[in-house]
């Protein structure tokens, strides 16, 4: 699957992140820095981690990744999820 | 509230009373206990000259805190040592959460630590929320500490008791009174320094002392000199571990938020092994932790674990297993320890690492030629974490 074509995942992700932090509504797009900028605080980041863990499955050990890079933007997170879904189906 | 409205300042003595009150949400509900904990961990820490605590102030009020306690690590052969502080004590006041305050405190703290000459910082006691946030700020995990536990299955209720409770209102009242009394006793233990998971342990220990074998003894205090001498005698494979000398042991086991029991294995008056159990008086921390376990022989190690299992009775025993040797792993498995299921958001147990300087984030992180993100570089014990 072409990552860019999964509009359903992207829109769900965008909607989820907008639901986490009302202060980000106006400025949030798929290239906004979520983590390195500190836009998402600890509670929001934990909820995001739980959401991603559900999307990729519990078998993926999130501890092994550099989350500041892998999850920094909506596009990064989308790529992360799709890459791990692909790995699980192969 | 914008970030500009917060002041991030280093701890000063005039903050003491506010810190003790503020940490009632994290450390304990007791001001006395929190004061003792602050003194022990940060002010009497043997590895730093000043407390490494960073506070977020809104006006004069503390609304956020991040501490780093001093820790001295050894690695390589010949042995090198380096003080590398460990992150702890993260707390943001509820009404100031979700405003990037944790990021602000952490950035200020890391800049200050870098300025003071610290190259890396470690973290071994982060709960899920802090762990994920730290990883979002560039901290990396060296891997799972592979927690293992030994759980004794719950006893089946006696059918005869159930039948009695169904038939007799008096029995139901008596049963409820006993349950309430049990809860009151437990709640009292939360705020007081007495009453702990070791009550049953101590009672069994008194009864069975003569049956634990000729070599095993139990104490409530460490034998700091003998323990340090034993550690020095063990083969040093050069992995990264905390320095375990006499001053370390003397300081480490004074943690006022923990209770310890020490099991020793002696032969001809020489210490050949020790095992340290830890528990907290807080009733919501349910198990006893095996926080340190060293021996010169397989027999001593196995005897100590067997004695510990006998004495803890039905309490769950918990430990980290990731960096234990093959022999210790086999002994644990044979004793019924099983792996605890963990994810990043549930029961995380890991060592996190980060350079203090931003410009090192894209370099290889290492000390003495050992890669910090390779779990094989480490020899980790639960006593290295301030969580125990």
Query: Please, what CATH class does the domain formed by B148-154+195-339 belong to?
Result: alpha beta
Q: What is the CATH number that goes with domain A3-89?
A: 1.10.1200.10
Could you tell me the residue ranges of all domains in chain B?
Answer: 3-144+346-384, 148-154+195-339
How far off is chain A from B265, nearest CA to CA, in Å? Answer: 37
Using CB atoms within 10 A of its CB, is residue B180 exposed (0-12), middle (13-18) or buried (19+)?
Answer: exposed
Range list of H helices, chain B? 16-22, 31-38, 101-115, 128-136, 159-167, 169-191, 198-208, 224-233, 246-252, 298-312, 326-334
Contacts of A51 in chain B (CB under 8 A): none
On whether any CB of chain B is under 8 Å from the CB of A62, the answer is yes
The answer, yes or no, to whether residue A58 has pLDDT greater than 80, is: no
Scanning B123-152 for CB atoms below 8 A from A yields: 128-130, 132-133, 135-138, 140-141, 143-144
Helix (H, G, I), strand (E, B) or coil at A67: helix
The answer, yes or no, to whether residue A2 has pLDDT greater than 60, is: no
Closest Cβ–Cβ partner in B129, B137, B144 for A43: B129
Which of A57, A67, A69, A77 is the best mutation test for B, with the most CBs of B within 10 A? A67
On whether any CB of chain B is under 8 Å from the CB of A40, the answer is yes
On whether any CB of chain A is under 8 Å from the CB of B344, the answer is yes
**What tens digit of pLDDT does each residue of B322-356 get?**
999 999 999 999 999 999 987 777 778 999 999 99
Q: Taking the CB of residue B165, how many other CB atoms lie within 10 A of it?
A: 15
pLDDT of residue A44: 87
Could you tell me the pLDDT band of residue B157, with boundaries at 50, 70 and 90? low
pLDDT of residue B186: 44
The answer, yes or no, to whether residue B10 has pLDDT greater than 60, is: yes
Tokens of B331: 């002994």
Enumerate residues 6+ apart whose C-beta is below 8 A from B385.
B86, B124, B125
How far off is chain B from A65, nearest CA to CA, in Å? Answer: 7
Q: What ipTM was predicted for this assembly? A: 0.82
Phi-psi region of B117 (alpha: psi -120 to 50; beta: other; left: phi over 0): left
pLDDT of residue A26: 61
Closest Cβ–Cβ partner in B138, B140, B345 for A49: B345
A57-71 mean pLDDT: 87
A46 vs B133: CB contact, 8 Å cut-off? yes
A41 vs B101: CB contact, 8 Å cut-off? yes
B98-119 mean pLDDT: 93
Do residues A63 and B344 make contact, with C-beta atoms less than 8 angstroms apart? yes
Could you tell me the residue ranges of all domains in chain A?
Answer: 3-89
User: For B104-113, B114-123, B149-158, which range has the lowest pLDDT when averaged over its residues?
Assistant: B149-158
User: For B39-48, B64-73, B147-156, which range has the lowest pLDDT when averaged over its residues?
Assistant: B147-156
Cβ contacts from A onto B, under 8 A = 75
The model's pTM is 0.86
Q: Which H or E run contains B54?
A: strand B52-58
How far off is chain A from B146, nearest CA to CA, in Å? Answer: 12
Could you tell me the pLDDT band of residue A36, with boundaries at 50, 70 and 90? confident
Residue of A nearest to B351 (CA): A63
pLDDT of residue B170: 56
Q: Which CATH superfamily is domain B3-144+346-384 in?
A: Gcn5-related N-acetyltransferase (GNAT) (3.40.630.30)
How far off is chain B from A61, nearest CA to CA, in Å? Answer: 7
DSSP state of B192: S
pLDDT of residue A25: 57
Sheet of B288-295, strand order = B216-219, B259-267, B270-279, B288-295, B317-320, B147-150, B338-339
Do residues B172 and B165 make contact, with C-beta atoms less than 8 angstroms apart? yes
A40 vs B128: CB contact, 8 Å cut-off? no
Could you tell me the pLDDT band of residue B165, with boundaries at 50, 70 and 90? low
Scanning A18-37 for CB atoms below 8 A from B yields: 21, 35-36
Do residues B314 and B203 make contact, with C-beta atoms less than 8 angstroms apart? no
C-alpha B384/C-alpha A66 separation (Å) is 24
The answer, yes or no, to whether residue A23 has pLDDT greater than 90, is: no
pLDDT of residue A18: 87
């Amino acid at each position: 699957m072409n990552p860019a074509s999964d509009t359903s995942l992207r829109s769900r992700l965008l909607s989820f992140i907008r639901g986490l932090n009302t202060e980000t509504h106006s400025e949030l797009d798929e290239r906004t820095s979520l983590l390195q900028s500190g836009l998402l605080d600890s509670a929001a980041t934990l909820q995001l981690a739980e959401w991603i863990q559900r999307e990729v499955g519990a078998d993926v050990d999130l501890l092994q990744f550099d989350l500041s890079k892998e999850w920094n933007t909506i596009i990064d997170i989308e790529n992360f999820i799709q890459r791990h879904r692909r790995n699980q189906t192969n | 509230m914008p970030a500009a409205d917060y002041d991030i300042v280093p701890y000063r003595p005039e903050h003491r009373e506010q810190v003790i009150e503020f940490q009632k949400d994290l450390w304990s509900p007791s001001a006395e206990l929190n004061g003792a904990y602050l003194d022990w961990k940060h002010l009497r820490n043997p590895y730093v000259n000043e407390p490494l605590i960073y506070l977020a102030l809104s006006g004069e009020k503390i609304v956020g805190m991040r501490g780093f306690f001093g820790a001295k690590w050894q690695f390589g052969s010949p042995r090198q040592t380096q003080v590398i502080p460990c992150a702890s004590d993260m707390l943001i006041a509820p009404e100031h959460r979700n405003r990037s305050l944790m990021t602000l405190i952490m950035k200020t703290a890391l800049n200050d630590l870098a300025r003071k000459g610290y190259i890396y910082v470690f973290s071994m006691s982060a709960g899920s929320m802090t762990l994920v946030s730290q990883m979002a700020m560039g901290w990396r995990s060296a891997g799972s500490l592979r927690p293992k536990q030994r759980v004794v299955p719950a006893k089946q209720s006696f059918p005869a008791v159930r039948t009695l409770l169904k038939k007799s209102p008096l029995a139901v009242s008596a049963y409820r009174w006993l349950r309430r009394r049990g809860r009151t006793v437990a709640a009292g233990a939360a705020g007081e320094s007495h009453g702990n998971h070791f009550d049953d342990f101590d009672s069994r220990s008194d009864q069975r002392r003569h049956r634990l074998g000729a070599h095993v003894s139990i104490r409530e205090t460490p034998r700091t000199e003998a323990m340090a001498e034993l550690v020095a005698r063990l083969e040093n494979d050069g992995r990264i571990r905390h320095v375990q000398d006499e001053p370390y042991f003397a300081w480490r086991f004074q943690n006022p938020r923990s209770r310890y029991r020490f099991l020793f294995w002696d032969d001809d008056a020489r210490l050949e092994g020790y095992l340290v159990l830890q528990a907290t008086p807080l009733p919501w921390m349910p198990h006893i932790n095996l926080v340190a376990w060293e021996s010169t022989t397989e027999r001593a190690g196995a005897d100590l674990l067997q004695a510990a299992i006998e004495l803890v009775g039905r309490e769950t025993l918990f430990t980290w297993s990731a960096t234990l040797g093959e022999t210790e792993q086999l002994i644990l498995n044979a004793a019924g320890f099983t792996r605890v299921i963990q994810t990043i958001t549930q029961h995380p147990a890991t060592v996190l690492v980060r350079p203090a300087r931003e410009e090192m984030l894209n370099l290889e992180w290492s000390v003495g030629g050992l890669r910090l993100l390779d779990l094989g570089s480490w020899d980790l014990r639960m006593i290295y974490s301030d969580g125990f």
